Amino acid sequence: MSEAAKLSVNGKEIELPILVGTENEVGLDISKLRASTGCITLDEGYVNTGSTASAITFLDGEEGVLRYRGYPIEQLAEHADFIEIAHLLMHGELPTQTQLTEMQSTMRFERTIPPAIVKLIASFPQQAHPMAIVMAAVAGLSAHHLERIDPADPKQVAEASARLLAEMPTIAAYAYRRTTGQDFVEPTKDLDYCRNFLHMMFSQPDKPLEIADELAEALDMLLIVHADHEQNCSTSTVRMVGSSDANLYASISAGVAALWGPLHGGANEACVNMLEMIHADGGDVAKYVEMARKKENNFRLMGFGHRVYKSYDPRAKIVEAACKKVLAKLKIEDPIFPIAQELERVAVTDQYFIDRNLYPNVDFYSGVLYRAMGIPSNMFTVLFAMGRLPGWLAHWIEMRTSPEKRICRPRQIYTGETERNFVPIEKRS
Ligand code: SDX
């Protein structure tokens, strides 16, 4: 590989240094482009543009590879638990038993959220979308915790990250209880991360919650496969907001906002709504694949397609396998699961989908498992946010401690009116 690419533009000949990553990805460094040619690049949606170099997660979209800090997602989903993954993403290594025990016990004591945030959640109308509540509650934490943590102080970062990881399930469960008109159930130190969340979601005063191990383990796996995904829309948003030195809670709240969109994290809710519609319409999946082929229908198969994966999303494979195991073990019959499997079978053999490399993504099957846990579809993206939190934290820390850090401020090509003079109102038509 040569050291530089040559560019001839605007009557100038320049060299663009070539950067090669540890997985042999090749990037052209254009940081001097404008100064040396007067030109900028343009790339709507950043399809071809890298925003940074990062050591956290590696994706190979052609091969369907996903690794957190070098570990394949398949191994992590099978052998690790979510808190181990949070440590791995944020600190770069799987924790020792001592580190894991310390992180788990710290988090157990941080599950209670400030009373003013409890009041904030209770102040939302019952018909609010839970993501609106989560976004506001996370931003509100900046008024209660040390707002300005020093990103270079590992102790402050570890404490603030562990506390926010511990508080997020409480915020999520309280958002659910508010929007279902139920009293809040306090977190308990006696249960692990996932069981405490399910306890706060579903315990009733008169009925102690029976939590099937299979569901608690499935939830842990879902959080792991959602934990990070390099420079996706919401993570890039966290980095963008954090690049102005905005505080941790403002940055994470912005990530929640970006994740809410149905083209991103909101797709899991949209996908289940689509599968329910197909079920109600007699289960004719071919009709909906046909609809998705025609642009004029303005209809997409939610849970399908991906900016990076041009082959099967490895997370979708893991989640589908878990659906089969958990539904069979718990003898749960969910009509939308076979519809999803049939929809996948028909779509991936359809030329439109083959030509565009469209396959199921992480959002296609996850809703089936959430439903098996009794979680309503308007909470699916909240669960995605809970899972993605360690990834957001890891990227915020990496960005804020990078010696290359600069405020993110993209350029543009102006296409509006050229200079013109003011027109007094009486002369306007
Ligand atoms: C997530 O970035 C990440 O890593 C995200 C994520 C993460 O972990 O953070 O993986 C999580 O957000 C997964 C994606 C969830 N979204 C959906 O499932 C919504 C449905 N999918 C899409 O709208 C779409 O596939 C995107 C948004 C995921 C990707 O959009 P791109 O890369 O901008 O692709 P595009 O919209 O330019 O589509 C390319 C072509 C188009 O057709 P042509 O104009 O070339 O003829 O594929 C078509 C699109 O119309 N297409 C689809 C389709 N997705 C793309 N057609 C039908 N159904 C679909 N789902």
**What token pair was written down for 43?**
């790339």
- Which residue type occupies 18? I
Q: How far is the CA of 134 from the centre of ligand 1 (A)?
A: 25
Contact indicator for 69, 55 with CB cutoff of 8 Å: yes
pLDDT digits (tens, 9 = 90+) for 46-71: 999 999 999 999 999 999 999 999 99
Return per-residue pLDDT of the chain as tens, 429 residues. 678 999 999 888 999 999 999 999 999 999 999 999 999 999 999 999 999 999 999 999 999 999 999 999 999 999 999 999 999 999 999 999 999 999 999 999 999 999 999 999 999 999 999 999 999 999 999 999 876 688 888 889 889 999 999 999 999 999 999 999 999 999 999 999 999 999 999 999 888 789 999 999 999 999 999 999 999 999 999 999 999 999 999 999 999 999 999 999 999 999 999 999 999 999 999 999 999 999 999 999 999 999 999 999 999 999 999 999 999 999 999 999 999 999 999 999 999 999 999 999 999 999 999 999 999 999 999 999 999 999 999 999 999 999 999 999 999 999 999 999 999 999 999
Q: How far is the CA of 109 from the centre of ligand 1 (A)?
A: 40
The C-alpha angle 281, 381, 230, rounded to 5 degrees, equals 120
Instruction: Give me the active site residues, please.
Output: 306, 363
Residues whose CB is less than 8 angstroms from the CB of residue 313 and which lie 6 or more positions away in sequence, other chains included: 64, 306, 359, 360, 361, 362, 364
d(CA 142, CA 211): 33
How high is the pLDDT of residue 141? 96
How high is the pLDDT of residue 2? 72
How high is the pLDDT of residue 148? 67
Name the residue at shortest CA distance from atom 25 of ligand 1.
305
SS (H, E, C) the chain: CCCEEEEEECCEEEEEEEEECCCCCEEECCCCHHHHHCCCCCCHHHCCCCCCCCCCEEEECCCCEEEECCEEHHHHHHHCCHHHHHHHHHHCCCCCHHHHHHHHHHHHCCCCCCHHHHHHHHCCCCCCCHHHHHHHHHHHHHHCCCCCCCCCCHHHHHHHHHHHHHHHHHHHHHHHHHHCCCCCCCCCCCCCHHHHHHHHHHCECCECCCCCHHHHHHHHHHHHHCCCCCCCHHHHHHHHHHCCCCCHHHHHHHHHHHHCCCCCCCHHHHHHHHHHHHHHCCCCHHHHHHHHHCHHHCCCCCCECCCCCCCCCHHHHHHHHHHHHHHHHCCCCCCHHHHHHHHHHHHCCCHHHHHCCCCECCHHHHHHHHHHCCCCHHHHHHHHHHHHHHHHHHHHHHHHCCCCCCCCCCCCCCCCCCCCCCCCHHHCC
**What token pair was written down for 10?**
């605007």
Q: How far is the CA of 300 from the centre of ligand 1 (A)?
A: 9
**Which of 58, 66, 264, 272 gets mutated to test ligand 1 (max ligand atoms within 8 A of its CB)?**
264
Residues whose CB is less than 8 angstroms from the CB of residue 63 and which lie 6 or more positions away in sequence, other chains included: 311
Residues whose CB is less than 8 angstroms from the CB of residue 355 and which lie 6 or more positions away in sequence, other chains included: none
How high is the pLDDT of residue 3? 86
Q: Tell me the pTM.
A: 0.96
Q: Ligand 1: residues within 6 Å at CB?
A: 45, 229, 232-233, 263-265, 267, 292, 300-308, 356, 358, 361-363
The C-alpha angle 100, 103, 108, rounded to 5 degrees, equals 125
